[in-house]
Amino acid sequence: MRGSTAARSDRGCSMEDSLEWIAKEQGQWSATAGAMKRTYERTRWLTFGTSIAGALLAALASQATSDDWRAWLAIVGAVVLAFGGLLTARFLGPDRASRWARARVASEALKRAAFEFSVQASPFDDHVSRKAKLQERVGAIEKEVDDLLSEVVAATPGSTPRTPWSPDDYVSGRVEKSADWYERAASESQRAARSLRRVELAMAVVTTVLTATIGAVSKEWLVAHLAGFDWAALVAVLTTISGTVLAHIEASRYDYLVSSYRAAARQLRLFTLSKPQQVAAPSSDWSDFVASCEGVIASETGSWVARFGRAAQ
């Protein structure tokens, strides 16, 4: 349990009760945003797969020597592509992305309020009015997502403090932990982008070789000497798949997330070095420090939501 015993006894149980309450609210919205994100991302990967599968099936249908096989491959390819279109329309619309983003914003805003309240930073530095201000803040945050209440999922309390935290607790448990998370997330996004770019590069190399070969001899010569396959059709398919991979990378905003996360981590690391020495909480210096750290986290969340919204549209 964080925070000194003296600090807890001085503030009484009402502060801990308030922290328990906001932890439950934040946990619900965090779980709701997580569920929406998983559905969205799984659907996006599924549509990514159906786009590639549909292109391959169409190419195979064009090369089939049997009329029956040609018909079946064409039918399956059309169904796969239609299924991908259905998923896009139902689960990947801008409204879906917006709802997920709004749930995440509510979760992060509740988390910020909980941390500011637990460390007695402004506007919760007055022990007389801080509980009322917390209730007002939480009410305003949740009012913005009232239309999402039908999608709220039951969850355990979130990762916010349950007891008053000291300044050192806040630096280690909020600032440094957030910086660590940003760095891990940046590395994961970088690895995903590199893997997809390797796939796209490999297809681009194959496409270039086939195009050059077809230009050097002829499509007819390739058909006659290489198993009767129309290699020009394969070039078209690989070009389509390469475009699909690049579009997926762009929609995922991997490059932006890498730079954004690492910039936020760097700023938070710098703030830990500038933390006031022998700081007292509450105090104006402490409130300024907390506001700076929370501002970095809130700014990163806001910029990510704005950029993600444009990507979804």
Peptide bond preceding 157: is omega within 30 degrees of 0, i.e. cis? no
The span from the first CA to the last CA of the chain, in angstroms, equals: 45
In whole angstroms, give the CA distance from residue 238 to residue 206.
8
For residue 189, give both structure tokens. 């996004």
In whole angstroms, give the CA distance from residue 49 to residue 245.
10
CA dihedral 167, 168, 170, 176 (to 10 degrees): 140
Q: Is there a contact between 149 and 194 (Cβ–Cβ < 8 Å)?
A: no
Name the pTM for this structure.
0.80
Backbone angles phi, psi at 179, to 5 degrees: -60, -40
Sign of CA dihedral 125, 129, 131, 133: negative
> For residue range 237-263, what is the model confidence (pLDDT) as tens digits?
888 888 888 888 887 888 889 999 999
The pLDDT value recorded for residue 97 is: 80
The pLDDT value recorded for residue 313 is: 42
260 half-sphere exposure, CB direction, 13 A CA radius? 19
User: Residue 275, SS3?
Assistant: coil
> For residue range 34-47, what is the model confidence (pLDDT) as tens digits?
999 899 889 988 99
The pLDDT value recorded for residue 10 is: 41
In whole angstroms, give the CA distance from residue 158 to residue 141.
16
The alpha carbon of residue 127 and the mean position of all alpha carbons in its chain are separated, in whole angstroms, by 37
For residue 235, give both structure tokens. 């070039």
Q: Is there a contact between 234 and 58 (Cβ–Cβ < 8 Å)?
A: no
> For residue range 48-93, what is the model confidence (pLDDT) as tens digits?
889 889 888 888 887 777 888 889 988 998 999 899 888 888 888 7
In whole angstroms, give the CA distance from residue 152 to residue 29.
7
The pLDDT value recorded for residue 298 is: 92
The pLDDT value recorded for residue 279 is: 77
Q: Is there a contact between 124 and 116 (Cβ–Cβ < 8 Å)?
A: yes
Counting as low any pLDDT under 70, the low residues of the chain are 1-13, 218-231, 307-313
The pLDDT value recorded for residue 228 is: 56
The pLDDT value recorded for residue 310 is: 53
Indicate the domain borders of the chain: 12-312
Q: Which of 264, 270, 258, 257 is nearest to 296 (CA)?
A: 264
